[in-house]
Amino acid sequence: MAARMNRLLTTGKTHQSFRSAAKLLEINESTVRYHAEKKGINCYKKRKRNLIPKTQKEMRRYCCMKFRKTYRKSDVADFLFVDECYVTVKKHFNVQNERCYGKSFDLIPDYKKFRELPKTPLSAMIFGAVSREGRSRLVVLKSGFRLNQYTYKDKCLIPLQKRLPYKLNAATAIFYQDKAPCHRAGSVQKHLKKNFPRYVPHELMPPNSPDLSPLDYCVWNELKERLNKHGLISSFNKLKKILKKEWEAIPQAVIQVSVDS
């Protein structure tokens, strides 16, 4: 019975608490707690984390080394980083009630100690570009659709070309985007080859590459932190207005430090 209880709490795929394990085993909850304490099983709060498989980590390392041999520090000023992401209002994570069990938090399986947060109706897809000396206008689109090669080119890339960040032009800028399906599409690659001759080919981009884009590892987080200070936002139009205002309010020094790093 004690061995089965141990498996239910620590290795079972279905989440179990002391109470649910006691009900399933048809014993008293205090008995479960007693045997858990005797086995050294403790209760821990779940934590949030993005999970990256080991194979992708190794591929990212390989691509980064190849990328490093292709570009130099002197090219940093010419880089134009572009990206899009979802912004969702009112995401909540109850740190008091989310629990997992095991002898050590490090030994608990990832699927038991981490929880994916649910989405809420009020959200937006944003697109922007940054360079060491400036940023583009922020494009804010209503969520609820899949960004494909046509909407990406028409609503994101073409408006970006009309107003590139300070001191950059399409002929000399090193255009960098990630490996999203809409980015790798044939029509998008053809458009980039024609309008941004120095664009970075997707072969040099590692999978899930936040370590190479300052938008991923810095600027988007900065924007979301500023958005959270506004509290409850009731409409998309208000969300769009706040996002554009806070995007312009991010100090350029923050972007410069992230690009240089």
Same domain, 134 and 237: yes
Look at residue 97 in the predicted model and tell me its pLDDT. 62
Same domain, 140 and 191: yes
What percent of the chain is modeled with pLDDT above 90?
23
Is there a domain that residue 249 lies in?
yes
**Whole-number Å distance between alpha carbons of 31 and 2:** 10
Is there a domain that residue 84 lies in?
yes
Q: The tokens of 261 are what?
A: 């790093």
Range in 27-36, 85-94, 199-208 with the lowest mean pLDDT: 85-94
Same domain, 123 and 220: yes
Work out the pLDDT band at 209, boundaries 50, 70, 90.
low
- With tokens 């970006």, the residue in question is 160
Look at residue 118 in the predicted model and tell me its pLDDT. 46
**Whole-number Å distance between alpha carbons of 158 and 235:** 27
pLDDT in tens, 27-84: 888 888 888 888 888 887 877 776 778 888 888 888 888 888 888 888 998 999 999 9
pTM, two decimal places: 0.67
pLDDT in tens, 103-115: 888 888 888 888 6
Contact criterion met (CB below 8 Å) for 86 and 146:
no
3-class DSSP assignment, residue 215? helix
Q: Is the pLDDT assigned to residue 93 strictly greater than 60?
A: no
How far does the chain reach from its first CA to its final CA, in angstroms? 54
Is there a domain that residue 194 lies in?
yes
Same domain, 250 and 138: yes
**Whole-number Å distance between alpha carbons of 123 and 86:** 7
- Write out the DSSP string of 39-99: TT-EEEE--------HHHHHHHHHHHHHHHHH--GGGGGGEEEEEEEEEES-----TTT-E
For residue 14, the 8-state DSSP code is: S
Look at residue 137 in the predicted model and tell me its pLDDT. 92
Backbone angles phi and psi of 87, in degrees to 5: -115, 120
- Average pLDDT score, the chain: 84
Is there a domain that residue 221 lies in?
yes
- Number of C-beta neighbours around residue 165 at 10 A: 21
| Domain span holding position 12 | 2-40
